[in-house]
Structure 1
Amino acid sequence: MGLAAPTLFSSLRLGSLRLPNRIVMAPMTRSRSDQPGDIPNALMARYYAQRASAGLLITEATQISRQGQGYSYTPGIYTQEQVEGWRLVTDAVHQAGGRIILQLWHVGRMSHASFHADGQTVAPSALSPQAQVWVVGQDGVGRMVDCPVPRELSTQDIADVIEDYRLAAARAMQAGFDGVEIHGANGYLIDQFLRTTSNHRLDEYGGSMENRVRFAQEVVAAVVGEVGANRTGIRLAPFITQRAMNCPEIIPTILHLSSSLDKTGLAYIHLSEADWDEAPLIPEQFRHDLRDCFSGRIMVAGKYDAARAEQILSAGLADLVAFGRPFIANPDLPARIREQSPLAAFDPHTLFGGDAHGYSDYPVMS
């Protein structure tokens, strides 16, 4: 787009941050943490720093506890070693002139017995997600394996998870992050509480819409109380229905939640849109409804290119656009967009696990 994309390259205030452009690097699981311990490392620091020309970097989803893990080699934020590893990343990004926030993650039932000492995954209700997660076996090979039926969380368990979110947010600040994003999308724990298809509880966390949004509200309150609303965002996915999440009430539920979050002064809502072929389109009316009930910034992520990004920004229906896969093979993506240069293709065989190959060895433009 070059100079034809003035909005995409305009600056923006996002909570406590001043962003030089509206291009965000979306959170993407890459499974490169050090083992044992799921510890961020120098390789990850190099990867993120290479992409620091984005207005904002959002890290890969990061488990808030061992219980919150669902995939092999994903990083955590619940030990001091992990905090120190993430400090390598934030220092490298800041030295490169960038801004970076940590995505806080609990997968709920999207997990596998091998990640849990008692062999049990957890969820709002004991319902299978009918899905698979990527797990590295004893032979060192990663495979997609079926998720088991989870154990239903007790009310005390729920309180413990909320505390884990608060502690993770505090550790993110210790690690030097500029803020946090709560992962409430894509069929993970918070999303599981929101939907009638995955939440069959009969207590104060299930049943009515008001009850189903309670967990999300309490997580946000705990995180905001720790780091401030101006350093906090949330990712939501109203139109993503895989993983047995096709809830007929999710749209009004998301709007109800967004309206309540507006009262907290939350910095932004990040809409995770489907990015596969023939995926459902988000109705424009929903975008207007979200604008009406939430006064903070709105970020969108899906199958956006520069033209689509400029279009939605110019229409006032979003403030930032997050790019995922284009950032994998194009660490200098903002420059390529500005110069209308061709985008390199990524190697799909190197997405999860491995070393620098297919991760931090993609070149910038000559």
Structure 2
Amino acid sequence: RKRYSKQRVTCELAFKVGFASAKKLANIGEYIVIGKDNRPSSDMLEAAVTAGICSAGINVIKFGIVPSSAIPFLIKKTSASGGVMISASHNSSEYNGIKFFTDHGFKLEEETEAEIEKEIDSINDTSLRSSGKDIGRVSNRCDLVDSYIDFLTNLYPLNLRGLKIAIDCANGVASFIAPEAYKKLGAALSVHSNEESGENINYMCGSTFPENISNIVKKTKSDIGIAFDGDGDRLIVSDEKGNILDGEFIMAIIVNFLKNEEKLKNNLLVTTVMANLGFVQALKNLGIKVITTDVGDRFVLIEMLKRGSIIGGEQSGHIILLDKYTTGDGILTSLALLNVLIKQKQPLSELSKIMKKYPQVLINVE
């Protein structure tokens, strides 16, 4: 993820990235889906990537503003050969980036990304020329976004009536999607940081500024607060007292429930080497095996697939529920947590007592 500027992510680069990735992901005449977040530069980069893909002879299906985590669903829904998301996730509005997904809904492996980079370096004016039937076409299917909401709520068809939920949409894509999901399930909703311009995406709100949702919960007397990041694939929550609970608390609550329900495949959870010792110890006390990987959801997913784990994630709130979906999704994870809340009939402040954080200092080493 880079700043959108003359020196970093440019339309020219985005065009080449679209061209090179299309040649790697699809064959002539096939389809690639594209989604974007709502930050100002996303429209330009979407157009540039689309032009690059079409120049490679691949058709494009545009879905407009959607969560990053919607792309795998839309790939399957349209039988596409891959997907692209224009977003800089939890970063501020001046940044942007381009993510890719395979036809199976997984993010690209490092080796594939390296091959695309080599292809970009080899592009010249001649290789970019295409004409007539060799040019891909573009279609818009924003109408299918509602089916993504249906997909999530069908995975957890909860009755949220009587539950008061506060959500912080980080002024990002969750503003367009999340309220509808919770309302569909009957929740009483208090929506915040849902400005749609994208100019202040993630600014002093969302999962990277959890103090905001904590204050909102206390002010609105909500049962739970849910704060997303800009592209909606992670979350941090607040209990009814305003206590902030990161991804480790969320995972501990969900994984304990799965174990008690005898649904925890292979009795393990995958996280990263940055995991808090209190989290790891709590799971060991519950008889749950913990596997650690390098930092990044890519490495968590690889290990989950290797070990046959159905749950894994990071402190940041990027959590993968592999028995439900192929990537981390903030709304889906919140529904899994709300499912426990309803089934256990306990407030979140009680459920979170399952673990206690140990003092921790994280240092970046270059």
TM-score when normalising by structure 2: 0.28
Q: Which has the higher contact order (CA 8 A, sep 6+)?
A: 1
Q: As a proportion of its length, which structure holds more helix?
A: 2
TM-score when normalising by structure 1: 0.28
